[in-house]
Amino acid sequence: MRIIGPRCLSTTSACLASVVGNSAKIPISVPYAVERKSTDVLEAILQTVGVDKTAPHFSFIDDPTTIPTTAFTKKNYYLCKEFGRRTARQLAKEWPTLFMYDHDQPRLDVFRPEPAALEIEPTEENLIRMIREKKVDNALNIYHQLSSQDKELSQDILTDLFRLVVYYNGSEPQIDELSEWHGLRVFANSETGSGGAWKTGGMADLLFEMLPHNEEVLSVMIAGLGKYPSENSLERAQTLFNESQKNSL
């Protein structure tokens, strides 16, 4: 065993004092933190690696043996993936108790099944949200609940609801107008048409009678009657157009 004597200890202490004294003369500056986005690393990799122009579209990249090569197989592959997502959401909507154990961190409400319209609190804010999200049935259900409670709505909200109901003829949007399902929007069957004939006596007609017949309301109504043509709707559109011309609207 090596024994350290007093002389060695004094020498070590002197060396440490010398190092500390020299380091005290060196200026220390702490750099400011650099703000970085969550995608900075991916952008740096992109600048280094670049884009592989020979690779298939990202929507087709899964198993290399299933990557489609022809236009027909690409269409079927893309639609199958979207139908699979729609099926999963439908299952979660019909049997929500099977998906009660949610361990997502953070919780992503967009992947949770939506409550039924009757379970949504009938408030003006929820009605505005349903109109903005183009949920026709939910918006009308909330409107009926608010009307049964004798709650007054502003003319702007009623006008927005009127636009939505007229544009979609009181029904949910056609599948080719769903921005979420790109494949269905592109490859939707054009034979489905625009949604049939105008629904006479529906919510659009009721809201039309409630609102003042100004330039905007008349224009929306005439456009809706023309979008869903029938003999009666076209005659009514002509009558409203003549009325607007007569009143210089």
Mean of pLDDT over the chain? 80
pLDDT surpasses 80 at 3: no
Q: Which residue from 242, 247, 240, 171 is spatially nearest to 204, judged by alpha carbons?
A: 171
pLDDT, tens digit (0-9, with 9 covering 90-100), for 25-70: 677 888 888 888 889 998 888 888 877 888 887 777 777 778 888 8
Give 84's pLDDT tier (boundaries 50, 70, 90).
confident
* Predicted TM-score of the model (pTM): 0.57
Q: Answer positive or negative: Cα dihedral of 50, 55, 61, 63.
A: negative
- The predicted structure's pLDDT at residue 90: 81
**Percentage with pLDDT > 90 across the chain:** 27
pLDDT, tens digit (0-9, with 9 covering 90-100), for 146-171: 999 988 899 999 999 999 999 999 98
pLDDT, tens digit (0-9, with 9 covering 90-100), for 92-139: 777 877 776 666 777 777 766 666 656 778 889 999 999 998 889 999
Whether omega for the bond prior to residue 6 falls within 30 degrees of 0, making it cis, is no
Under DSSP, the state recorded for 58 is G
The string of DSSP codes covering 164-217 is HHHHTTTSPPPGGG-TT-HHHHHH--GGGTTSSS--TTSHHHHHHHHS---HHH
pLDDT surpasses 90 at 8: no
pLDDT, tens digit (0-9, with 9 covering 90-100), for 11-20: 555 555 565 5
